[in-house]
Amino acid sequence: MSRLVVASNRVTVASDTKARAGGLAVALQDALQEHGGVWFGWSGKVAAKPSPQPDLTTVGRVTFATVDLSRKNYNEYYNGFANRTLWPLVHYRLDLTAFSQQNYSGYLHVNTIFASKLHPLLKPKDLIWVHDYHLIPLGEELRSKGVSQPMGFFLHTPFPAMEILTALPSHRTLVKALCAYDLIGFQTENDLRAFLDYIVHEAGGAIMGDHLIQVFGRTVRVEIFPIGIDTDDMVAAGKRSIQAGKKAEHLPTGQHERDWIIGVDRLDYSKGLVERFRSFQRLLEKHPAYRSKVRLLQIAPPSRSEVPEYKEIRHMLEAEAGHINGRFAEYDWVPINYLNKSFTRQDLASFYRSSRIGLVTPLRDGMNLVAKEYVAAQNPHDPGVLVLSRFAGAARELDAALIVNPFDFDQVANAIAEGLEMSFEQRHERWEAMMEKLHNNTLSTWRDNFLRILGQAPYTI
């Protein structure tokens, strides 16, 4: 059995291999423990003089290899090119995309550093799995050092349309680096289609059938791997939340038992939070009967707080929430509860289960696992309704949700009202259809499918 090497931007060392924090980290740790291997990436620390060698910590069969960044590298690689150029670009926000040659050079430099520190840790029969937009050039850097082991890359974000991507001055260099991998995985058919459009019409490559392309002198396999959740774990968390009397049981409910609408997102402009607040305002305007009867609980912990655009979105949301609450609130009712803090996975499961509507309305999202978690946490005997943006990758699987355009405030408001009035039979039918898909495509399924296909590399035509 080949050893597995995972590379990701951030690595959190697991001090207890039995800890079930949930999410991607658990899925990758399970695979690493099964195969044995290395998890490599940034420690999350900024140091005046980073060590020339990675810090190694072994837990069970896994070696966690972490490196610190200098302040300059952090500013250019992470805050700069990754989060002020690539992140807005792949989320179709050219208006927020900052192009800087200095930041791009810093991004390449950090990937070169990472490759030089990862390379000595590799063994001849390793499978190498690299994650996300921060590390696109890592594979090419490793190839330049003679690495011939199978290497796969999974993009967690959307892949932008060719017309968007070509606005990036370094687009060809970046896509060429991406094609140094043997296997490239995308979340949805839309992402794959956008990538192939670029390969054929911009890069001069060819689609060879059987998920293979020839471009830049290489044969590369491309596949769709929609990421899932640990469905059984979230179902169990939803059940435990009621049995244990978690926080959501203490939410004030007024005249109705379930009048909460919930949104859970990182504080990010791609999540459509300003538009969500305005859609909720439209609900109160168009359907005044819901005033004093429904509340929006929006949980939005801060992220990337050093990036100016994230400071701005926080100020905008605070202003929107204040405006709506000032206009509609009564002495015993506040329409929006806006919380800039994190909650445990268990508490979130409780909030999901106790909310009539799950409101997931990103303007663009690779997948959006909150949508899947909301569905999995529901009470089968009284499930809530998912209102889901058509621009979330999850909409391709969870098509039994109420699918909306987040830019259309009236449509979102009407969908919320429809969900609040929906009969049990309709709610249950939709919930069952979505749960079947969640059980068929779990986080483990996603991981195992990727590694199975990566293990077949190199690919031949």
| Interval 147-169: pLDDT, tens | 999 999 999 999 999 999 999 99
Per-residue confidence (pLDDT) for residue 460, from 0 to 100: 85
**Same domain as 198, residue 219:** yes
Q: How far is CA 383 from CA 163, 258, 312, in A?
A: 41, 11, 36
Clarify whether residues 128 and 240 are in a common domain.
no
| Domain co-membership, 144 together with 274 | no
80 and 50 assigned to the same domain: yes
Cα gap 396→339, rounded to integer Å: 29
Residues 113 and 152 reside in one and the same domain = yes
Range of the domain at 161: 4-228+443-454
Indicate which CATH number applies to the domain containing 213: 3.40.50.2000
pLDDT at 303: 82
The answer to the question of residue 364 being in a domain is yes
Contact assessment for residue 449 and residue 224, using Cβ atoms and an 8 Å cutoff: no
Q: For residue 255, tell me if it sits in a domain.
A: yes
Regarding beta strands 127-131 and 4-10, do their DSSP bridges make them parallel or antiparallel, or are they unpaired? parallel
Q: Is 461 inside a domain boundary? A: no
Question: Does some domain include residue 417?
Answer: yes
Query: Do 118 and 266 fall within a single domain?
Result: no
Q: Are residues 285 and 217 part of one domain?
A: no
Structural domain tally of the chain? 2
For the range 238-243, what are the long-range contacts, defined as Cβ-Cβ under 8 Å and sequence gap of 24 or more? 238/349, 238/350, 238/352, 238/353, 238/376, 238/377, 238/378, 238/379, 240/346, 240/349, 241/346, 241/347, 241/349, 241/350, 241/353, 241/354, 241/377, 242/350, 242/353, 242/379
How large a percentage of the chain has pLDDT more than 70? Answer: 94
Provide the residue-wise pLDDT of the chain in tens; the chain has 461 residues: 689 999 999 997 876 443 444 567 777 888 898 889 999 999 999 999 999 999 999 999 999 999 999 999 999 999 999 999 999 999 999 999 999 999 999 999 999 999 999 999 999 999 999 999 999 999 999 999 999 999 999 999 999 999 999 999 999 999 999 999 999 999 999 999 999 999 999 999 999 988 999 999 999 999 999 999 999 999 999 998 766 555 555 555 444 445 899 999 999 999 999 999 999 999 999 999 999 999 999 999 988 777 788 889 999 999 999 999 999 999 999 999 999 999 999 999 999 999 999 999 999 999 999 999 999 999 999 999 999 999 999 999 999 999 999 999 999 999 999 999 999 999 999 999 999 999 999 999 999 999 999 999 999 87
- The answer to whether residue 317 is domain-embedded is yes
- In terms of domains, do 290 and 313 share one? yes
Q: Are residues 202 and 240 in the same domain?
A: no
User: Tell me, what's the pLDDT at 2?
Assistant: 84
User: Does a structural domain hold residue 460?
Assistant: no
Q: What is the mean pLDDT of the chain?
A: 93
Same domain, 161 and 240: no
Same domain assignment for residues 141 and 258: no
Residue 12 lies in a domain: yes
| Residues with Cβ within 8 Å of residue 331, at least 6 apart in sequence | none
**Are residues 162 and 34 part of one domain?**
yes
Query: How far apart (Å, rounded) are the C-alpha atoms in residues 369 and 380?
Result: 20
Q: Residue 459 falls within a domain, yes or no?
A: no
- What are the residue numbers of the active site? 156, 365
pLDDT at 256: 45
